[in-house]
Structures are given as structure tokens and as C-alpha cells.
């Protein structure tokens, strides 16, 4: 199925951008996980569907924390 190849391409691209600490990686991961979600829904595989729903949530959390750290308050370390 061509959708799986596209999802894998988005995932591999996301890894490259993540290594470079570029926030675009989160959007690539969201696209990849959404495509995998569609693929697993079409093939009726429940466990991977649940896994990729969690991954999408983690992507939003990762994007939020990266944005907050870059544009929000600086973290303070309590001793």
C-alpha cells in the first residue's frame, strides 16, 4: 500500500529534523502517525491504532514543550 511508504518517509524525515532540533519534526511525526492511523484503521488493527493515537498526543506535547521553552519562561532549577 503506497500510504505506508509515505508514512515511513515522513517518519524518517521527522527523525532527521529531530536530530537537528528543528520543530518541523513534530509536524512530520504528526503526518506520519496520522497516515499510519489511517492505514491501521483500513486494515482493522486495533493495537497499532491505539499506539499511534498516543504518539499523536505525544507529538502535540513535544511541540508544546519545545515552543514553551523557546518562547516562554526560562526554566529555573530549584536546589
Once rounded to an integer, what is the mean pLDDT over residues 41-63? 93
Percent over 90 (pLDDT), the chain:
71
Q: Which residue has the cell 512530520?
A: 28
The 10s digit of each residue's pLDDT in 23-47 is 899 999 999 999 999 999 999 999 9
- Please list, in sequence order, all residues whose beta carbon lies within 8 angstroms of the beta carbon of residue 23, skipping any fewer than 6 positions away: 63, 66, 67, 70
CB 47 within 8 A of CB 18: no
* pLDDT at residue 68 in the model: 73
pLDDT for residue 26: 93
pTM score above 0.85: no
- Grid cell for residue 11: 517518519
Reading the block at residue 66, the C-alpha cell is 519545545
Q: Which three cell numbers stand for residue 76?
A: 529555573
Amino acid at each position: 500500500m503506497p500510504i505506508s511508504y509515505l508514512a515511513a518517509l515522513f517518519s524518517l524525515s521527522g527523525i532527521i529534523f529531530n536530530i537537528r532540533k528543528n520543530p518541523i519534526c513534530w509536524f512530520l511525526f504528526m503526518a506520519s502517525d496520522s497516515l499510519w492511523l489511517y492505514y491501521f484503521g483500513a486494515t482493522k488493527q486495533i493495537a497499532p491504532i491505539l499506539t499511534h493515537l498516543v504518539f499523536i498526543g505525544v507529538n502535540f506535547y513535544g511541540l508544546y514543550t519545545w515552543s514553551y521553552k523557546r518562547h516562554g519562561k526560562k526554566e529555573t532549577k530549584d536546589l
